[in-house]
Amino acid sequence: MTDESVSDFAVDWDHTDPRWVHDPYPIWEDLRGRCPVAHTERYGGAWFPATHAGVSAVATDTEHFTSRTVVIGNGRPTEEAPPAPIGVAPPITSDPPFHQIARRLVLPVFAPGPVRDLEPMVRALCGRLLDALAGQREVNAATQYAQFIPPAVIIRMLGFPEADEELFREFVHVVLEGVNHPVEERIEEFAPIEAYLDAQIEDHRANPRDDLTSYLLGVEVAGQRLSIEHVRGTMVLVLIAGIDTTWSAIGASLWHLASHPDDLARLVAEPDLMPIAVEEFLRYYAPVTMARLVKDDVDFLGCPMKRDDWILLGFPAANRDPSVFPDADRFIIDRLENRHLAFGLGIHRCAGSNLARMELRVAIEEFIKRYPKFELIDADAVTWSQGQVRGPRHLPIRVG
């Protein structure tokens, strides 16, 4: 967080402000009512559309906005570093036309078939995690359960040593939560991550196997292997996009059930409701916001945007827009019409949504099967992550 606290989020917003981190929804509701695009001079200038229409307009406009980087920081990446058109983490940091090439490469990995094949492994993992909690009356559902599930899946996909899960969570933390650190510090912070990935690439070159890392090293586009920057970048993306996001979604869903006994009882009694409930968890607690940079000065949504201003895409804010969702501020566990934006929209729409939905569904199914009743021990003890991906990081509950 920057030093000064925010007095008015409409003209000086900061997504790392403790009030935004703790409970952003009243802030966004207020902004929707009176802006609806908020501005800040922080981070060198940034905008925040709080409506569904505003978020959609920016997310689908690749002419005026670039994804060269999608995590807000104090510095700005140049066109050369990270190298265009790949960016740090293709395809999320790639613009058209290269974006389509990078996206097509990863889509088959997350298609319904391969994701179905992973489901038994995820279910068994959840079972083992719950077995390890046997006998405990008090459980930290974030640190003892949710946070272990996505890294295990991603490590398996990439073909990295299972023992490195803890290291992974540390990497994700560095990338997503250190946004306010000076640029030089950021470069230093990234060095161990790059070194680790390079060691894994070397190992896979020497011993190719059936995993995503070997696939990326072997795949060809127009008769050419991918550059090392591209391979490393996609590995970084999968680590970041695949871990913090889903861990946050699982944690937020368990937080909801721990504080809403009626919804918990209904889900336990009606397991067939799960796929519909999963969509409402995703709408209501959408964990991901991503950024764009303005390409050139432009008047957009009535705002004088300057080249290199940030735009933070509040997919979670769009999901609470009452002009699109009836009773937007109410969690309706059997909401049938639910075209939420938790996975974004436009060309960068989440490529891993099948995997995310499966992990979320299985993690909740297994948890409530083991614990049909659980509740928050102390609502004030719950803490939420700071940055562009929001989820509970400390979630003490009483089970039984």
Decide: 150 and 247 in contact? Cβ < 8 Å: yes
- DSSP annotation of 387: S
2 or 353: whose CB is closer to ligand HEM?
A: 353
- Residue 245, interface with ligand HEM (CB under 6 A)? yes
- Residue 278, interface with ligand HEM (CB under 6 A)? no
Find, among 394, 232, 321, the residue nearest to 52 by Cα: 321
DSSP states of 307-330: TT-EEEE-HHHHTT-TTTSTTTTS
Dihedral pair phi/psi, residue 388, rounded to 5°: -95, -5
Site size with ligand HEM, rule: CB under 6 A: 29
86 or 238: whose CB is closer to ligand HEM?
A: 238
Pair of tokens at residue 11? 């003209």
Q: Which residue among 55, 317, 355, 382 contacts ligand HEM (CB under 6 A)?
A: 355
Pair of tokens at residue 306? 């300057």
Q: Which residue among 36, 91, 316, 391 contacts ligand HEM (CB under 6 A)?
A: 91
d(CA 71, CA 291): 6
- Which CA distances in Å does 338 have to 9, 208, 266, 361? 28, 43, 19, 17
- Residue 77, interface with ligand HEM (CB under 6 A)? no
Q: What's CA 276's distance to the chain center, in Å?
A: 20
Q: Return the number of other C-beta atoms located less than 10 Å from residue 228's C-beta.
A: 12
Q: Which residue among 50, 105, 139, 237 contacts ligand HEM (CB under 6 A)?
A: 237
Region from 41-49, 163-171, 179-187, 287-295 binding ligand HEM, contact rule CB under 6 A: 287-295
Find, among 324, 255, 346, the residue nearest to 63 by Cα: 346
Q: Which residue among 249, 254, 258, 312 contacts ligand HEM (CB under 6 A)?
A: 249
Peptide bond into 26 cis (omega under 30): no
186 or 357: whose CB is closer to ligand HEM?
A: 357
Collapse the DSSP code of 152 into the 3-class scheme (helix H, G, I; strand E, B; otherwise coil) and give the result: helix
d(CA 145, CA 14): 30
> How large is the angle between the packed helices 228-259 and 353-370, nearest 10 degrees?
30
Pair of tokens at residue 150? 């996505």
d(CA 71, CA 190): 14
Decide: 52 and 324 in contact? Cβ < 8 Å: yes
Interface map 184-223 toward ligand HEM (x if CB under 6 A): ----------------------------------------
197 or 350: whose CB is closer to ligand HEM?
A: 350
- Residue 303, interface with ligand HEM (CB under 6 A)? no
Interface map 20-59 toward ligand HEM (x if CB under 6 A): ---------------------------------------x
Region from 32-40, 112-120, 169-177, 347-355 binding ligand HEM, contact rule CB under 6 A: 347-355
- Residue 238, interface with ligand HEM (CB under 6 A)? yes
Pair of tokens at residue 384? 């939420």
311 or 382: whose CB is closer to ligand HEM?
A: 311
Q: Which residue among 69, 140, 213, 246 contacts ligand HEM (CB under 6 A)?
A: 246
Region from 73-81, 138-146, 183-191, 348-356 binding ligand HEM, contact rule CB under 6 A: 348-356
The residue written with tokens 């003490």 in the block is 396
Region from 130-138, 215-223, 268-276, 280-288 binding ligand HEM, contact rule CB under 6 A: 280-288
d(CA 50, CA 317): 6
d(CA 351, CA 346): 11
Region from 16-24, 164-172, 316-324, 340-348 binding ligand HEM, contact rule CB under 6 A: 340-348
- Residue 257, interface with ligand HEM (CB under 6 A)? no
CB of 103: closest distance to ligand HEM in angstroms? 4
236 or 333: whose CB is closer to ligand HEM?
A: 236
393 or 399: whose CB is closer to ligand HEM?
A: 393
Single-letter residue type at 294: V
Judged by CB under 6 A, the chain residues 96 through 125 that form the site for ligand HEM are: 103, 106, 110
Q: Which residues form the interface with ligand HEM (CB under 6 A)?
A: 59, 67, 70, 91-92, 103, 106, 110, 237-238, 241-242, 245-246, 249, 286-288, 290, 315, 342-344, 348, 350-352, 355-356
